[in-house]
Amino acid sequence: MNIVNCKNCNNQSDSKYCPSCGQLMNTHRINLQYLVHEIQHSIFHVDKGILYTIKELALRPGKTLTEYLSGKRASYFKPFAFVTILATIYGLLSHYLHIYPEIQILNDTSQSQKITDIAFDWLYKHYALTTYLLIPFYALLSYLLFKSKYNYFEHLVINAYLIGFQIILLIICLPFSYISISLYFFLPTIVSFLYFAWAFHQTFNNHLFISIFKTILITIFSSVLGLILGLLGGLLFAI
């Protein structure tokens, strides 16, 4: 009989699931196999705890991320289910309300802008998919810039949670688009940047200014990638 401690509540048991909190007694370090199962689980099953997860990410992002990565997962909404649901909601809202701040700020009538319109229309219509495509790139940047004990697959989880919370900020700020499209574009952008820097600072225990500098680099490279994807998408769907 193999008695182990639950990583979520520290209760001892020889059961598959903890009789106290219900979490799996044997949680492993996050790797490729875990993420494949996690993505499948995210699509076909929805757990409890999304409001609690949002609250904890808002107040204690570093603590939330380190607890989840260390094995304390029963209380938190699954990261890829989290980002999938939120990205789908935001994509639907933006697409059907036709609120594309990047396009409206440029306000260009040239042929190149028409291609960009087509690209962003498709990207927002498939916002969950494009978010999934960007998460591995965010994870690679944070993995390379923040030298830590976490592997690349754990950085995928970190960025899934943070991007999910960023989408919440975009949804909250949607009403500002009817006041000023510039305000709607820059307000969530600035708040998201500060939130990412704060979360990275808490998670990786870097100096705050170092976290801010590295977040600037991630933001720049991610924006460039988003622009490239947008232009390629515009050219592809304009043909």
Burial 144-172 (b: 16+ CB within 10 A, else e): ebbebebebbbbbbbbbbbbbbbbbbbee
User: Per-residue pLDDT for 104 more than 80?
Assistant: no
* DSSP secondary structure code for residue 180 in this structure: -
* DSSP secondary structure code for residue 21 in this structure: T
236: confidence class by pLDDT, cuts 50, 70, 90:
low
Q: Distance (Å, rounded) from C-alpha 144 to C-alpha 183?
A: 32
231: confidence class by pLDDT, cuts 50, 70, 90:
low
The pair of three-digit structure tokens given for residue 12, joined into one six-digit string: 């001892």
Which residue from 41, 69, 67, 216 is spatially nearest to 151, judged by alpha carbons? 69
CB 53 within 8 A of CB 59: no
Which residue from 178, 205, 84 is spatially nearest to 133, judged by alpha carbons? 84
Q: What percent of the chain has pLDDT over 70?
A: 81
Q: Distance (Å, rounded) from C-alpha 125 to C-alpha 122?
A: 5
Q: pLDDT per residue over 167-213, tens digit each?
A: 999 999 998 888 888 888 889 889 999 999 999 999 998 888 999 99
Whole-number pLDDT of residue 183: 85
Q: Distance (Å, rounded) from C-alpha 193 to C-alpha 223?
A: 12
Phi, then psi, of 124 in degrees rounded to 5 = -75, -30
Whole-number pLDDT of residue 13: 80
User: Per-residue pLDDT for 119 more than 70?
Assistant: no
Q: Distance (Å, rounded) from C-alpha 61 to C-alpha 96?
A: 31
Element (H, E) at 162: helix 152-173
Amino acid code (one letter) for 206? N
User: Per-residue pLDDT for 229 more than 90?
Assistant: no
Amino acid code (one letter) for 169? L
Beta strands, E only, 83-128: none
User: Per-residue pLDDT for 89 more than 80?
Assistant: yes
Q: pLDDT per residue over 45-85, tens digit each?
A: 544 578 889 999 999 999 999 999 999 888 889 999 899 99
Across all residues in the chain, what is the average pLDDT? 82
Whole-number pLDDT of residue 156: 96
Which residue from 189, 187, 216, 215 is spatially nearest to 201, judged by alpha carbons? 215
User: Per-residue pLDDT for 237 more than 70?
Assistant: no
Q: Distance (Å, rounded) from C-alpha 141 to C-alpha 222?
A: 9
Q: pLDDT per residue over 157-175, tens digit each?
A: 999 999 999 999 999 999 8
Burial 76-101 (b: 16+ CB within 10 A, else e): bbbbbbbbbbbbbebbeebbeeebbb
